[in-house]
Structure 1
């Protein structure tokens, strides 16, 4: 019999929030418990409070990482949110290149924060490969980070089910993927453009590895945070971003009532945030 009273839910929820910034409202209690029970069952534990004690006493945080893996498994796909990608390709990137050429700056730094299984940063790699004139003259860094260790491993492998390519234009599919049964393997020319690592947006030591970032993609991540966590993450983004850098959020996300440090810009195809 599962023992999962309200107090146990709050203990576990608040512990997860403290460690990761992820916050589960009471309305997501069933979702939360289904995934927590998957981990409890493997430990032959049927009491939510006892599982909480296990998490707190595990100084290696091995069990915490496994729990976060089951709590943060989300589906994504290549070329998600096409209007925003058009804004990046047709407006943000050309402006960035003009400015950097004028400054004699050959560095381009991009960060996909909360990259899941890698489709987003790989999409950026393909767009840069296709639309960056004389790409060999630029020193390009594309980094993808995620708190989910399994998703980061999958991203590094670069092998995807056809559903991950459902919005991928045919020419990209033909040029940058090899079909292997019902799987698609991304070509090394794009894989080598992206570096992946496990990263927690709430940990200052992880964020300190990023600096002077020109464009941050953090799409459909803030929806899992409460206001306090969002404010902390947005401040961190601002501090790691270069002047005149861009922040792109998910289509349903906004900094309204969270932070005013970024300027909201209306581009032809999308709304974006800008660091003046």
Structure 2
């Protein structure tokens, strides 16, 4: 019997399907990556042909296999304090401006998407505790979301390699982590400070409940989207922000090329994108 394989036609069918479901588009340069993971999932689910696997993938009522495939198709490489200049901007420039529009008892709300394995939202929590004096006066909610359920479970566990924590100042490492063999376990207090949720940014039913955020971090995700998906994501974040709220993108991403909805704000530490004041929430 011939070994299962992925034809060019199969690849094109899958690429279109996965794009419609997630907004992520694989070009020809990712062919080996996609084929390898498709063949792995076919073997694990007992399908000898792409056709039979693809039928199951599209019509499985539970969506369980689509989620499993999404988990292995998404890239989740990050580390603590990555692109930390934006965290400096957060505590030095963004939060001081945001709190001027807060009333008593009104929390500051931060959304991190994608959460990946948790390094980014936990880095934000550490920055707030260590470098923002206002943390004593305001309740802060940090919600971190990802499409990958496996990586969300890893983030909630909070167990990290030496490579992940290499950029942390030593005093922060000792203060917020316990050494466990070759890994580092984040403290329970920090784990409880972040709420992790599953969200598909391309699914309106998933994103609709996410509203009234003051600050959104979406870094190094839109590079995997095409122009249409980027524009849709920009509109989703716009709806999720309070008027005057800020959106932070990755260093190689620019909202100016995606959408005109936002005002470009240049702070000493970083360029960020603001939902204009005076618009309806």
- TM-score of the aligned structures, taking structure 2 as reference length: 0.93
Shift of 1:75: 1.1
Conserved 8 A contact 2:5-2:39: no
Determine whether 1:209 maps to 2:209. Answer: yes
Instruction: For residues 70-93 of structure 1, give each alpha carbon's deviation from its aligned partner in whole angstroms, at most 9, with x where no partner exists.
Output: 001421111100222211121112
SS of the equivalent of 1:273 reads strand
Match of 2:80 in 1: 78
Shift of 1:118: 0.8
Conserved 8 A contact 2:263-2:273: yes
Conserved 8 A contact 1:3-1:46: no
CA distance in 2, matches of 1:269, 1:41: 49
Shift of 1:48: 2.4
CA distance in 1, matches of 2:73, 2:90: 30
CA distance in 2, matches of 1:248, 1:45: 42
In the TM superposition, 1:34-49 aligns within 5 A as 34-49=36-51
Conserved 8 A contact 1:16-1:23: yes
Conserved 8 A contact 1:11-1:49: no
- TM-score of the aligned structures, taking structure 1 as reference length: 0.94
SS of the equivalent of 1:196 reads strand
Instruction: For residues 97-155 of structure 1, give each alpha carbon's deviation from its aligned partner in whole angstroms, at most 9, with x where no partner exists.
Output: 3342xx44631000001111111111111111123336354222100000000000011
Match of 1:90 in 2: 92
CA distance in 2, matches of 1:162, 1:191: 18
Instruction: For residues 8-32 of structure 1, give each alpha carbon's deviation from its aligned partner in whole angstroms, at most 9, with x where no partner exists.
Output: 1111111111111111112211111
Conserved 8 A contact 1:213-1:242: yes
Residues 136/256 of structure 1: CA separation in 2 closer, same or farther (3 Å cut) = closer
Aligned residues: 274
Match of 1:195 in 2: 195
**Unmatched segments (≥5 aa) in structure 1:** none
Shift of 1:254: 1.4
Conserved 8 A contact 1:73-1:148: no
**Unmatched segments (≥5 aa) in structure 2:** 277-281
Shift of 1:2: 2.7
Deviates more, 1:159-168 or 1:203-212: 203-212
SS of the equivalent of 1:248 reads strand
Match of 2:279 in 1: none
